[in-house]
Amino acid sequence: MKEPNEIQLPHLLLVHPDLKDDPVQKQGEIGFITAAILNTDEFYVGFDDHQVGFYGADALLTFKEPGDIYDFLHENALTLSVDDFKDLKNIALLLDHGTEKHIRTAMELVKKNGNIQDAVTIGLDRFLGIDQTRGLKR
């Protein structure tokens, strides 16, 4: 049972592809949170190659809610390319399943198709409601 102050962190994240000065050079890579200190905006992110990077929440992307993605699809169906539409629909369906395997597959689709990144992801800072004016910039 969750405590009242407990926050559910996403299982998998994408390091923002446009991140400058990433000491472990993981821009655009999929990772997972190994430790987090929310009040100082510090996130340690592990990667499949066993490296760990240190990031602020604004450097990390997580998924929007599947309903938001379906809404985007509905509103933009006529202007999206066939490939983008298909990837967006597949991501929403994968997120509906919600298993870690499905979420990773969805994240791989975002990694391969940068055109859809803004439609399906949100900064971890916005997801968690972290005020970046008091957090550390990286």
Within 10 angstroms of residue 42's Cβ, the number of other Cβ atoms is: 16
Check whether residue 53 and residue 67 sit in a common domain.
no
Question: Is there a domain that residue 137 lies in?
Answer: no
User: Domain range for residue 31?
Assistant: 13-62+123-128
Q: Look at residue 7 and tell me whether its pLDDT is greater than 90.
A: no
**Cα separation of 43 and 31, whole Å?**
11
**Whose CA is closest to 96, among 83, 84, 105?**
105
Q: What is the pLDDT of residue 134?
A: 45
Q: What is the pLDDT of residue 131?
A: 65
Strand partners, 43: 36, 55
Check whether residue 45 and residue 94 sit in a common domain.
no
| 62-94 pLDDT per residue, tens | 999 999 999 999 999 999 999 999 999 999 999
Question: Is there a domain that residue 76 lies in?
Answer: yes
Tell me the mean pLDDT in the region 116-133.
Answer: 87
Q: How confident is the model at residue 3 (pLDDT cuts 50, 70, 90)?
A: low
Q: How far is CA 58 from CA 24, 41, 75, 93, 133, in A?
A: 17, 9, 27, 26, 11
pTM, rounded to two decimals = 0.86
